[in-house]
Structure 1
Amino acid sequence: MAAVSIDLEMKRFTNEAFVEKAKKLEGKLIENLVKPAGIVTVDEKGKIHPGAKLEDLPGMLLKKGDSVVLDFEDHQVGYVSLKLKSAGSPQDAPAYLRLKFGEIAKELIEKSEEYNGWISRGWIQEEYIHIDVLPVCLKLPRRYAFRFLEIYVVDTSLKYQVVVEEVVCRAVSAVSKEGVACVADPRMSQLDKVSLRTLQNCMQSVFEDGPKRDRRLWLGDLRLQALTNYETFKNYDMVKRCLYLFGGLTRDDGAIGACLFTEPEYIVDDTFLFDYSLFFISTLKDYYEASKDLETLKDLWQPAYRQIELARERFNDNYIIEGSDTFWCFVDWKKGLDKQASAQAIYIYTLNAAIELAKILGKEELAKQLQEEKGYCISAALKYLWDEKLHVFISGAKRQVSYASQVWMVLAGVKKDQEAGALLKHITEINPDMGMVTPYMNHHYVEALILCGEKKMAVDYMKYYWGGMLSYGADTFWELYNPENPEESPYGSSAVNSYCHAWSCTPAYLLRKLEKEEKTNGISCN
């Protein structure tokens, strides 16, 4: 029997054997030294313009109020060192500097003192530093996610200036793009390149959701990162490590958390989401299909199946899920989104995965029971959530119509084949107010289109949505992008938005999935 420990105060449960397996799977990070590619200026709209020549940097004398913006040309994740000295008279007062990092240039003109959002301003990558003695090699202890670095001189004295001799970033990632083949279609190469960079920079000791923020392991992100990883970097051990962490760090009733921390200790967060917990099953199934690792499947089957048992508690006697006013299910950041219908479909979606895994493990009777339950849930969805007049699924007491409800019902197989394709075309035509705002939800829309055989619609939408971020100069894809309001934020300010985010990396997966289908069926998506 596996060794376990229980934290009664926080009602957490730890399977020590699983956590030990996860620790042994931690890989060594690949390091590269990266220097700035140029000097730029940033205008009041956040647009970049060419600045002085980089070779002139060591000759620039920076006094009070002066600044220089270094452009590293691509998104970096790593540790920054600055080689600084003084010029003029002997240093008679500390050099007082502000260092500001930006994943996009607009972050450099954000005024952090005006931020009033609901998550910590501690995520804003800005440092005020006193330097008593120059010259110095200043090694910043934090890890940063950035493309741009602004060095601003708050003050020196009237007698000397600061000279920036050199700036270097020790960039880190668990993987290298070397050996990863690009997609065949050259018109999609930039989309693929930025997707790969997004995933690469989110692969650290675990699959992080964002290297700027929140820098931890979220299950919804992991599922999509893992799918993309199987088609590109093929780092199976990292997926396995994350699965064991989620399976080994649970609530005392066995619920798998939405996210967990690895520092200063391995611990599950206190956020539990209906859909994320269930996605542990789907992620485990995808991992087994990619790796054929039966031992891990056997180990983690029980914590996976436990999520179904817990999810059943939310269903009423009619096999319809009942939500709540709390943050109980994610689906998307869209404000006002009712999640009942999506949650119903996600339960069916994960039942599909559980049935497959039960059969692989030889649990035929359980697979049969799950199949029957799935039938009841589908029948209930068609009876209570399908509007025959509107020809859409509705959600909640107000009978809300949203993209999310239709997309998840298609992915779950509640509507199939021609009916599914017609439903997606219909919801696209009526374009309800309750749209989609995250790349996470938009990924599922594209995946549903592919499932229905609407491959050209899928490609065109990727060009529109992720291509929209490219039009704004994205080096990595963002946590949130609303084409109608690119600066939208669920946090009260875009200053804390993440511009390299795990759930945005999936075009690299979707494009390769389409290429495979083209080779198999000989059908072009162009």
Structure 2
Amino acid sequence: MVKPHLFIVFSLLCLFALSSQAKVTHTTVPPARIVWMSDNTGKFVSNPNHLLGTFSGQLSVSDTSYATLMSSDTHQASILLDFGKEMYGRIKIFSAIRECKVPVRLRIRLGESVTEAMSDVNMPDNPQNPTNEHSLRDFTVSAPWLGSFQCGNSGFRFARIDLLDKDIKYNLRHVSAVSLIRDIEDKGSFCSDNERINQIWQTGAYTVKLNMQEYLWDGIKRDRLVWVGDMHPEVMTINNVFGEQEVVYKSLDFARDDTPFPGWMNGMCSYSLWWIIIQKDLYMYQGNLDYLKSQRDYLLRLVKQIDERIDENGMERLDGIRFLDWPTSENRNVIHSGLQSLSFMAMKAAVQIGEYIGDRDMIRMASSCLERMKGVAVDAHDNSQAAALNIISGLSTDPEKDCETILKNGLDGFSTFYGYYMLEALAMLGKYDEALDFISTYWGAMLDLGATTFWEDLKYADVANAARIDEIVPPGKHDIHAGGGAYCYKGLRLSLCHGWASGPTSWLTRHVLGIVPIEPGCRVLQVKPNLGPLQSVKGTFPTPYGIVTVSCTKNGRGKVVCDIQAPKGVKIVR
């Protein structure tokens, strides 16, 4: 028998080990290129290439390797820098020595796209909708004489610097971005013979990693909030790439504590349903039984609240904000269909959780609710989102028909959020070739347009005539950032780093590498690769016991030959 005081010590050590993962590091990133300058004559902006040279990080009175800006009544000296990739953090500016010691005023504009960094906030009736909401990205600062300072705190890739004071020569030694990112290892990996697919996997992982800040956010520019529905794709990506992370538990607990009954998380009934589903999925991957047991009281009350809103005929009557994703937000029939499926999924998860923690009340209540719901036919209303949830939940009376709905609609009405569940539904019907084509075409389109992280939204029809986000939009081209978005994320308010868009990362590990936990904590893994049109794939997968490695190649007859290596404690089934 373990002595009580030893158990306490062991528990504290476990908590310390988990909390040690929370370190956020500050990394300096130099500019990769100069996108634009207000002057190419050398009169108002001179020696700009010094900003791209090496810099030790220490100013010196003898250092003359600086750019010079000078504004006049008729010309405002400006320069636009590209740091090469999206990041979360701030700008650090180094002012070189000059004759006048008076501080100078600079205007700094940060942007996830070139257009955003070149935009003006607070312009009335500006259809581009640039804002300073959630994080300041357009502000005026004072730069010291022979000194450095940091400013800003947003998601960005580009920075425009304007000298506001006139007839003063300002010597700018260096500008760097200071990236704030968790110091965690990418334990999961994915590499196939298709480099585009590999880049999509990595971009999804990086998108979520940037959003792992104090809490697990939806986006690093906005909203920087814990939206629980957004969390499900994010948590699945974390499970497949980074393994167990304290920020997930912290964010789930925040959503719980922020939502007293009879409220719904984030005001949305669907987001409380997702919270239950996340709890189940998290336990399957990480096996943290103590954490799951600690959720028991809230889970039981939440299951009761849902059960009370499923009528005697098994029909959902959920209140609160009724929401799936933005493209379906105005279709009441589709929302009802989706909520019916999500409620069923949440109650199935609740039964499993009840079994894991040995809670008979939870099992009884959720099982009774499921029995009422089983007889309800769910119509997808020719909608891909509803069809996907029908298939995933197991409520679909005709999975092949629902699958055809997804394939027929294609990328029309696709969203970066629910596109993940369309991929999951296609996988359940064995449509791996079609799913990989969706991934390459839809998520790949963002890469083609210069993305280094995945976006809150992409209307695929806009891609054909769109300019890249890392260039000034040429005449006749569509501005995919300023001219995109809808609802509350119109124009430049649209987030270009949004965690809910990371679905392909976990999907590729789960279905192409074929790694699926079938017992909690990855004690038993099914490894059943599905290469589709790919010829080879290899990758790693984090478990609480260590790393699983899978390597697969099609031989001359098209048969997939696999080598699987698993740590002690993990059983592999094929």
TM-score range, shorter chain: 0.7 to 0.9
Counterpart in the other structure of 2:553: none
Aligned partner of 2:231 in structure 1 is 222
Q: Is the 8 A contact 1:438 1:480 kept in 2?
A: yes
Work out which of the residue numbers 95, 100, 108 in structure 2 matches 1:90: 100
Q: Which letter does structure 2 place at the counterpart of 1:67?
A: S
Look up the equivalent residue of 1:516 and give its one-letter code. L
Whole-angstrom CA distance in 1 between matches of 2:79 and 2:396: 56
What is the alpha-carbon distance in structure 2 between the residues aligned to residue 335 and residue 285 of structure 1?
27
Amino acid corresponding to residue 147 of structure 2 in structure 1: V
In the other structure, the counterpart of 1:439 is 416
Q: How does 1:30-429 map to 2 (within 5 A)?
A: 30-41=25-36, 53-55=49-51, 58-64=65-71, 65-85=76-96, 87=98, 90=100, 95-114=104-123, 121-123=132-134, 125-131=136-142, 133-140=144-151, 142-153=152-163, 155-158=164-167, 160-177=168-185, 179-187=187-195, 188-251=197-260, 253=261, 255=263, 257-258=265-266, 272-322=267-317, 327-338=321-332, 339-364=335-360, 366-380=362-376, 382=377, 385-386=378-379, 393-394=380-381, 401-415=382-396, 419-429=398-408
Q: CA deviation at 1:86?
A: 6.3
Q: What's the counterpart of residue 59 of structure 2? A: none
Instruction: Give the Å deviation of 1:124.
Output: 6.5
User: What do residues 344-395 of structure 1 show as CA deviations (whole Å, max 9, x unaligned)?
Assistant: 1100011111111112223457535533421321312x1xx43xxxxxx33x
Alpha-carbon distance change, 152 to 175 in structure 1, aligned in 2, over 3 angstroms: same
Pairwise CA distance, 1:75 = 1.3
Give the aligned residue type for 1:424.
C
User: Is 1:499 paired with 2:476?
Assistant: no
Q: Distance in 1 between matches of 2:134 and 2:254?
A: 25
> 2:37 and 2:208 mapped to 1: Cα distance?
27
> Structure 1 pair 507/175, CA: closer, same or farther in 2 (3 Å)?
farther
Map Cα deviations across residues 209-235 of structure 1 (whole Å, 9 max, x no partner).
111111122211222211111111113
- Residues 105 and 142 of structure 2 are in contact (CA less than 8 Å); yes or no, is this contact kept in structure 1? yes
Find the aligned partners of 1:247 and 1:139 in 2 and give their Cα distance.
Answer: 35
Unaligned runs of 5+ in 2: 1-14, 39-46, 54-64, 463-479, 516-525, 534-574
Q: Tell me, in whole angstroms, the C-alpha distance in 2 between the residues paired with 1:492 and 1:221.
A: 15
2: CA distance between counterparts of 1:218 and 1:363? Answer: 28
Report the CA distance between 1:521 and its aligned residue.
3.8
Tell me by how many angstroms 1:295 deviates. Answer: 1.1
Q: Against the structure 1 CA distance between its residues 203 and 366, is the aligned structure 2 distance closer, same or farther, given a 3 Å change threshold? A: closer
> Contact 2:513–2:530 (CA<8 Å) still a contact in 1?
no
- In structure 2, do the counterparts of structure 1 residues 171 and 55 end up closer, same or farther at CA, with 3 Å as the change threshold? closer
- Superposed CA RMSD: 3.1
The C-alpha deviation readout for 1:290-318, integer Å capped at 9, x for no partner, is 12111111110221232222223433443
Change (3 A) 1:415 1:115: farther
**Contact 1:278–1:308 (Cα < 8 Å) also in 2:** no
- Give deviations 1:428-465, integer Å, cap 9, x for gaps: 32669xx5353111111111111222111111111111
Alpha-carbon distance in structure 1 between the residues aligned to 2:274 and 2:209 = 22
Query: Partner of 1:183: helix, strand, or coil?
Result: strand
Mean Cα deviation higher: 336-345 or 103-112: 103-112
The structure 1 residue matched to 2:486, chosen from 470, 485, 489, is 489
Question: Residue 263 of structure 1 corresponds to which residue in structure 2?
Answer: none
The answer for the alignment partner of 2:513 in structure 1 is 516
Find the counterpart in structure 2 of residue 268 from structure 1.
none
Evaluate the alpha carbon distance shift between residue 305 and residue 25 of structure 1 in structure 2; reply closer, same or farther with a 3 A threshold: farther
Counterpart CA distance in 1 for 2:400 and 2:355 is: 29
How far, CA to CA, are the matches of 2:185 and 2:35 in structure 1? 27
- Look up the equivalent residue of 1:428 and give its one-letter code: L
- Distance in 1 (CA, whole Å) between partners of 2:531 and 2:143 is 64
* Counterpart AA for 2:179: A
Return the alpha-carbon distance in structure 2 between the equivalents of residues 290 and 227 of structure 1: 9
Deviations 1:94-122 (A, max 9, x none): 52321111112221233323365899643
368 and 454 in structure 1: CA distance in 2 versus 1, 3 angstrom threshold = farther
* Alpha-carbon spacing, 1:494–1:86, altered in 2? closer, same or farther (3 Å): farther
SS of the aligned residue for 1:440 comes to coil
Q: Is the 8 A contact 1:285 1:357 kept in 2?
A: yes
| TM-score, with length taken from structure 2 | 0.73
C-alpha deviation, 1:135, in angstroms: 2.9
Deviation (angstroms), 1:473: 0.8
TM-score normalised by structure 1 residue count: 0.79
Please tell me whether the aligned partners of residues 79 and 162 of structure 2 are also in contact (alpha carbons under 8 angstroms): yes
Q: State how far apart, in whole Å, the 2-side matches of 1:40 and 1:221 are.
A: 33
Report the number of matched residues: 460
Q: After TM superposition, give the deviation of residue 202 of structure 1 in Å.
A: 0.6
* SS in structure 1 at match of 2:391: helix
One-letter amino acid of the counterpart of residue 177, structure 2:
C
CA distance in 2, matches of 1:492, 1:281: 27
Name which of structure 1's ranges 192-201 and 356-365 shifts more when overlaid on structure 2.
356-365
SS at match of 2:417: helix
User: Structure 1: any 5+ residue segments left out of the alignment?
Assistant: 1-20, 44-50, 259-271, 387-392, 395-400
For the structure 1 residues 119 and 370, does the alpha-carbon distance in structure 2 shift closer, same or farther, using more than 3 Å as the test?
A: farther
Contact kept in structure 2, 1:198 and 1:500, CA below 8 Å: yes
